[in-house]
Amino acid sequence: MDMIKEALPTTLDLYHLPLSSPNPIIRIADFGCSTGLTPIQAIETIVQCLLDLIKPIKEPRFRTLEFQAIFSDLPTNDFNTLFTNHLPVRRCYYAMAAPGSFHGRLLPTASLHFAYSSCALHWLSRVPQEILDKSSRAWNGERIYYVNSPAGVVGAYSAQFGRDMEMFLSARAEEMVSEGLIFMVVPGEPDLVHDSQTTLGSELELLGSCLVDMANEGIISKAKVESFNLPIYFPSEKELKQVISRNEFFHIERIQTLSHLKMHVAFPTPESRSLCLRVALEGLLCHHFGNELIIDDLFHRYSLKVAKSLFFLKPESHESISFSVVLKRKKSEENM
């Protein structure tokens, strides 16, 4: 939330923010909100910053301002849990849900003033198809992720991330008003650091090794493992900047390496680490392997391997970072 508190007052030109008349409404959306507390905190931080900015202004249109908060995620997201467990009864904004993929349009044209997305944009819209093709140089074999994969596989993942970010930004460009702001937290990897030296990369590689063990023991078929790949990509800062700069609708206001994700502090035991990954990937794995017993077995094996892994025993040997990015919607005439 520090990113919002620091960047919003300095990047927002409140007087030029297009507002409807006679009833001005500011709309704020969280894309990939999930079911936890973070989206509520983000919306409330943005609203509070705006209220602080508006307080000294005497202009009548700011006196009657109303706020609308839009919580968006895939239709399979448990919006009931989010609203039942976390949405405060007393709040100074109207809340609604917008189910659907953030890679496409979700809101009316030029209706949105602020967008927020945290730890969601690394999810790809699909696994790049060439990595599943045995005849392609980008075939990924029995690996489920791009750590230690041939360059063609990494390139295919990177290109898919580029296409997906382009779709995300183009959809938001249509939905957002001129000079509206996007705040994003994107998990990434440090420049010049190989994925096998990042915590998240190592975790996914280790999970893949458990699936290979299960295939070797005949518990699942080799073909099933070969056809499973994770639709996740962690960009470097350079790559993220390039992808955003290719888009003609947004200025980069700032991009910062946010923090090292302290997984070993948040999840101190192999079992809790295993559970954390299971929560994130269970849906995908069940859908592909189709049997909950296999998933129980998989994550039991995974916790045993985590206990012996370098990223667990020596967390300082692995890096994990995310980027905080603030973008401003260009005025329509700037796109020409």
The residue ranges that bind ligand SAM (CB under 6 A) are 32-34, 36, 38, 73-74, 77, 101-103, 118-120, 123, 125
Residue whose C-alpha is closest to residue 8's, from 47, 37, 40, 36: 47
Whole-angstrom distance, CA of residue 255 vs CA of residue 183: 10
As measured in angstroms, the least distance from the Cβ of 47 to ligand SAM is 17
As measured in angstroms, the least distance from the Cβ of 120 to ligand SAM is 3
The amino acid at residue 219 is I
Burial of 136 (0-12, 13-18, 19+ CB in 10 A): middle
Rank residues 220 and 277 by Cβ distance to ligand SAM and give the closer one. Answer: 277
Whole-angstrom distance, CA of residue 190 vs CA of residue 116: 23
As measured in angstroms, the least distance from the Cβ of 320 to ligand SAM is 14
As measured in angstroms, the least distance from the Cβ of 7 to ligand SAM is 17
Rank residues 32 and 180 by Cβ distance to ligand SAM and give the closer one. Answer: 32
Rank residues 45 and 225 by Cβ distance to ligand SAM and give the closer one. Answer: 45
Is the omega angle on the peptide bond into residue 22 within 30 degrees of 0, that is, cis?
A: yes
Whole-angstrom distance, CA of residue 213 vs CA of residue 300: 13
Any residues with CB less than 8 A from the CB of 78 and at least 6 apart, and which? Answer: 35
Rank residues 86 and 251 by Cβ distance to ligand SAM and give the closer one. Answer: 86
Whole-angstrom distance, CA of residue 117 vs CA of residue 73: 10
Whole-angstrom distance, CA of residue 294 vs CA of residue 220: 8
As measured in angstroms, the least distance from the Cβ of 77 to ligand SAM is 5
Rank residues 116 and 228 by Cβ distance to ligand SAM and give the closer one. Answer: 116
Rank residues 105 and 330 by Cβ distance to ligand SAM and give the closer one. Answer: 105
As measured in angstroms, the least distance from the Cβ of 1 to ligand SAM is 11
As measured in angstroms, the least distance from the Cβ of 316 to ligand SAM is 24
| Residues 214 and 297: beta-carbon distance below 8 Å | yes
Q: Per the structure block, which two tokens stand in for 246?
A: 């290719």
Rank residues 214 and 326 by Cβ distance to ligand SAM and give the closer one. Answer: 326
Question: DSSP state, 145?
Answer: S
Whole-angstrom distance, CA of residue 63 vs CA of residue 19: 13
